[in-house]
A = this chain, B = another copy of it.
Amino acid sequence: MIVVGTGFAGLNAAKELKDAPVEVLLVDQHNYHTFQPLLYQVATAGLDVGDVAHQVRGIFRRQRNLRFRQGTVTGVDWQQHSLELADGARLPFDHLILAPGAVYNDFGIPGVKRYGHMLKSVSEANTLRSHILRRFERASTDPSSVDDGALTFVLVGAGPTGVEMAGALVELIDRAVPLDFPELDPAATRVVLLEMTGAVLGPFAPRSQRYAERVLRRRGVEVRLNAKVAEVREREVVLDSGETLATQTLIWVAGVRGHPLAEALGLELTKGFRVRTEADLSVPGHPEAFVAGDLSGAVDADGRPYPQVAQVAIQQGRHAARMVRRSVEGGTRTAFRYRDRGMMAIVGRNAGIAELSRRLGGLRLRGFVGWLGWLFLHLLYLPGFKNRVSTLFSWVYNYLTYERHARLILESAPSPAELADRRGELASHDEAAATPKLHGARGPGSDADDDPTER
């Protein structure tokens, strides 16, 4: 059987199959698991790439029935029961768990893919970090670039990632500008968080939302609610109102959609490009195939789609794996039921929010305790002993010294347009595209097989 994807869903599906009487082939474009919740800390120079990426073969070293195959999935041949890879390989399967994840949704807004920095991969996080730090170097050598938006950082989307990134960005700036760039005017830097709805942290309780907004504003983030982006240009963002903001850095974290592989599957999609599934997460008409994680369009008892968060992905991955076991070992299939534990977000230093689900007592924590809880849980879920110790040390160091040690501008970082191009998302006409479609999508990313070091 084949598991596609090494995110939370795929990783946990594969682990759940540890002692199952099946041979598991795990396929991903990368040879590592990306711990997405901490990518924003890589982008803000608090963590190294190695802290949030853990290579897959190491994770499954002791799992005898699992093999890994690095490759980019381009489609599924439902007739032949085989998986199609970009390198031409056709991998036969009896059972299949698809968990390629999600990508950021540009909602068809012109310029987002070309100029917007996204935060779904270590490459993007690396690129964003180098880009941000380069703005300061630029402003330092060419003060006129400040008027041109060099020191204005605009984030679009005030979900957890947008809030966390905005909070981390002001902390980086508060420290970096006065100490590293005494030649720059701290007042010239701006961090603007645009949110199209009327509140930050959408799914959280109103008190938590107000708390997060208050903390962000106090720390210097310009929070602008009910602000919609109409277009992104090379050095400015145009709002629906016609207002423009001069900026050289647009960070697009405004909601996700199912992975582009969705459109290549020939399956029925739901809102947000997610695959419609049966209650047991199997694909309608294909009881041997399952979709888990962000790509799954599964709905709860009330018909609402599940949030695209790590906990859902983990539980769906495990459920799909259990269904495969029952299919092989015998046993009845059951409907997936999400055990909601709650939500967490971090606003910055000493400021976190944790809302336990009603099932777990409905406790709501804000401030220092919520922050500690966030750190603890993320450390717990981070795979790999080395990564955990290294991340913990970085956190303690960053906390005590206020430093962000990894302030490195790596010249090999590709631009957002290059990254989008590698994903096959940047067709020449993307700026004119009116529909929220990804162009030329190939599979779970498409860069793995464009081996740049290949001869």
Residues of A within 8 A of B (CB): 29-32, 48-51, 53, 55, 57-58, 61, 67, 69-71, 87, 89, 115, 122-123, 126-127, 130-131, 133-134, 137, 140-141, 179-181, 183, 234-235, 248, 384, 386-387, 389-390, 393-394, 397, 403, 405-416, 418-419, 422, 447-448, 450-455
A155–B55 Cα distance when bound, in Å, is 26
Contacts of A454 in B (CB 8 A): 134, 415
CB-contact partner of A69 in B141, B394, B412, B418, under 8 A: B141
- Given the known inter-chain contacts A69-B141, A248-B455, A390-B393, please indicate yes or no for A32 contacting B408, CB distance below 8 A: yes
Measured between alpha carbons, how far is A115 from B454 in the docked complex, in Å?
10
CB distance from A70 to the nearest CB of B (A): 4
Bound CA span A408–B140, Å: 34
**9 cross-chain CB contacts under 8 A:** A31-B137, A31-B407, A58-B407, A71-B141, A131-B453, A386-B394, A411-B422, A411-B448, A418-B452
**A237 to B387 alpha-carbon distance, docked (Å):** 38
Q: A50 to B398: give the CA distance in the assembly, Å.
A: 14
Cβ contacts under 8 Å, A403 to chain B: 58, 386
> By the criterion CB–CB under 8 Å, are B137 and A411 in contact?
no
| A414 adjacent to B412 (CB under 8 Å) | yes
Choose from B134, B451, B455 the contact partner of A115 (Cβ within 8 Å): B455
The answer to whether A180 and B61 have CB atoms under 8 Å apart is: yes
- In the complex, the count of this chain's copies comes to 2
What is the chain B residue whose CB lies nearest that of A89?
B141
Most chain B beta-carbon neighbours within 10 Å: one of A53, A70, A411, A447: A411
Residues on B with beta carbons closer than 8 Å to the beta carbon of A134: 451, 453-454
> Are A31 and B70 in touch, CB under 8 angstroms?
no
> Shortest beta-carbon distance, A245 to chain B, in Å?
15
Q: Are A412 and B55 interface neighbours, CB within 8 A?
A: no
Known: A31-B133, A70-B141, A405-B384. A415 touches B453 (CB 8 A): yes
Q: Shortest beta-carbon distance, A137 to chain B, in Å?
A: 4
Which residue on B lies nearest to A114, using beta carbons? B455
Chain B residues whose C-beta falls within 8 Å of the C-beta of A30 in the assembled complex: 409, 411
**Using Cβ atoms and an 8 Å threshold, which residues of chain B touch A69?**
140-141
Do B71 and A235 touch (CB < 8 A)? no
**Smallest distance from the beta carbon of A367 to chain B beta carbons, Å?**
27
Contact, CB under 8 Å: A61 / B413: no
Are B455 and A123 in contact, with the CB atoms below 8 A?
no
Chain B, Cβ-Cβ closest to A42: B50
**A412 contact from B50, B53, B413, Cβ within 8 A:** B413
Residues in chain B near residue A397, CB distance under 8 A: 386, 389
Q: A310 to nearest B CB, angstroms?
A: 21
Query: Does the CB pair A55–B408 fall under 8 Å?
Result: yes
Whether A452 and B123, one on each chain, are in contact in the complex, defined by CB atoms closer than 8 angstroms, is: no
Shortest Cβ distance from A317 into chain B, in angstroms?
22
User: Smallest CB–CB gap between A295 and chain B, Å?
Assistant: 21
Are A409 and B31 in touch, CB under 8 angstroms?
yes
Closest to A412 in B: B123
Per the bound structure, the CA–CA distance linking A134 and B448 in Å amounts to 10
Q: Which chain B residues lie closer than 8 Å to A180 at the CB level?
A: 57-58, 61
Q: Which residue of B lies closest to A180 (CB)?
A: B57
Q: Which residues of B contact A387 (CB under 8 A)?
A: 405
Interchain CA distance A285-B180 in the complex, whole Å: 36
The minimal Cβ–Cβ distance linking A421 to chain B, given in whole angstroms, is 12
Contact partners of A415 in chain B: CB under 8 A:
452-455
Contacts of A412 in B (CB 8 A): 123, 126-127, 412-414, 419, 447, 452
